[in-house]
Amino acid sequence: MTPATENQKTIQTRCCVVGGGPAGMMLGFLLARSGVDVVVLEKHKDFLRDFRGDTIHPSTLELLVELGLLDEFLKLPHQELRSVQITADGQTVPVADFSHLPVHCQFIAFMPQWDFLSFLAEKGKQYPSFHLHLQTEATDIVQENGQITGVRAITQTGELIINADLVIGTDGRRSTIREKAGLAVQDFGVPIDVLWMRIPKDPAVGEQSLGYLKSGQFMVLIDRNDYFQCGFLIPKGQFESVKQRGLAALQADILSLAPFVGEYVKELDAWDKISLLTVKIDRLRQWFRPGLLCIGDAAHAMSPAGGVGVNLAVQDAVATANQLIPALQRGRVTVDTLARIQRRRQWPVRVIQAGQIFIHKRLINASVNDPSTIPPFILWLFRHIPAFRRLPARLIGMGPRPEHIRT
């Protein structure tokens, strides 16, 4: 054990949630709402970051209905996507239709994730047992005789020790908590990376497809009213060769996929306007140890394919709250409870990750690395058989095992 220093503070809570992303904020809110004392640590000073999923899916919107928060939530600026189209070699193909889902909101809400997280933070703050510590970065776990008993963190004013009955790692794909806990990770390898950038939008441009596929290139354009958030796929590790080809070549590629972007593409005039996002898919073999559980990307890093990571993280949080709240009210949380949470969430995660691996290997990798191998029959099925669009809508919009608020 490291000896206490002058700038060290210690606090006590029932549950310490490390990471204020979708999993952590939803879990923190749900625990506090049930009267459980919870400390949420977030290393950044706010939620304003650009490299996050911005999709709130029908299953998450349904949870907001169950929580009585939907009307207030939908007052925040957002766009509603009722079907997904991709443009393949200039032809628009509908690939998902949400209008048949058995929920109140048959659409995906596009909303900057910082608005979603700030909304949850505001709701959490209404409860006295909710304690959000911003600019507080967990650096280690605290353990005694194999039981995790807390978290060590760095704040603006020194070190903070949080003693907790239970620590939940929701600190994302580069989780410090899972690393310090020594939880074994299974890496599935991904053949792509994403270039992430903003392109101003011509106000005259109307509704467009979400995905664009042509001549070995794949791009996603998320309409954020006055600009497009653009995700341009490249083969893994090839950013340097993209740079060597030059900005003009990248601009030309984007224009060839989505000509309506027009002159605005020239706003991409410096490489510091373009971020490289490394895509990965992995999963912990065991999500817990005595006194600790990982959920969300910390337990299973998701690729952007299908845009489902945020919603899976939220579903993990709901399933965790459903199991934990009664256990915390009874006393100490046992490993049996933690194992039950893993068992419940592992199956939907496996199904979605298998789907993402398939999309990478058979569709995206094929188009990015070898344009001649895109299976045209798949596009034909989507174009001509409307019922075919219901399966992706179900998988994307609801996920394999939608959770419900039980607390």
Ligand X SMILES: Cc1cc2nc3c(=O)[nH]c(=O)nc-3n(C[C@H](O)[C@H](O)[C@H](O)COP(=O)(O)OP(=O)(O)OC[C@H]3O[C@@H](n4cnc5c(N)ncnc54)[C@H](O)[C@@H]3O)c2cc1C
Which residues contact ligand X by CB under 6 A? 18-24, 41-44, 52-55, 137-138, 170-173, 176, 194, 196, 277, 279, 296-298, 302, 304, 307-311, 313
Q: How far is it, in rounded angstroms, from Cα 61 to Cα 98?
A: 13
Q: How far is the CB of 312 from ligand X (least distance, A)?
A: 7
Q: How far is it, in rounded angstroms, from Cα 232 to Cα 74?
A: 29
Residue 219: enclosing H or E segment and its boundaries?
Answer: strand 217-223
Quick one: tokens of 349? 């995660």
Is the CB of 169 or the CB of 291 nearer to ligand X?
A: 169
Query: CB-hemisphere CA count at 13 Å for 134?
Result: 8
- Alpha helix (H) ranges present in 277-389? 309-330, 335-358, 365-369, 376-384
Q: How far is it, in rounded angstroms, from Cα 138 to Cα 171?
A: 9
Is the CB of 139 or the CB of 329 nearer to ligand X?
A: 139
Q: How far is the CB of 401 from ligand X (least distance, A)?
A: 16
Q: How far is the CB of 51 from ligand X (least distance, A)?
A: 6
Q: How far is the CB of 197 from ligand X (least distance, A)?
A: 11
Which distant-in-sequence residues (6+ apart) come within 8 Å of 90 by Cβ? 214
Q: How far is it, in rounded angstroms, from Cα 302 to Cα 284?
A: 12
Residue 144: enclosing H or E segment and its boundaries?
Answer: strand 137-144
Residues in the chain: 407
Structure-derived torsion over alpha carbons of residues 276, 278, 279, 285, reported in degrees to the nearest 10: -160
Is the CB of 54 or the CB of 403 nearer to ligand X?
A: 54
Q: How far is the CB of 36 from ligand X (least distance, A)?
A: 19
Is the CB of 136 or the CB of 149 nearer to ligand X?
A: 136
How many angstroms separate the first and last alpha carbons of the chain? 37
Taking Cα atoms as reference points, which of 168, 141, 123 lies closest to residue 321?
168
Is the CB of 383 or the CB of 401 nearer to ligand X?
A: 401
Q: How far is the CB of 31 from ligand X (least distance, A)?
A: 15
Taking Cα atoms as reference points, which of 121, 101, 127 lies closest to residue 46?
121
- Grouping H, G, I as helix, E, B as strand and the rest as coil, residue 6 is coil
- Grouping H, G, I as helix, E, B as strand and the rest as coil, residue 229 is strand
Q: How far is it, in rounded angstroms, from Cα 308 to Cα 54?
A: 10
Q: How far is the CB of 204 from ligand X (least distance, A)?
A: 26
Q: How far is the CB of 279 from ligand X (least distance, A)?
A: 6
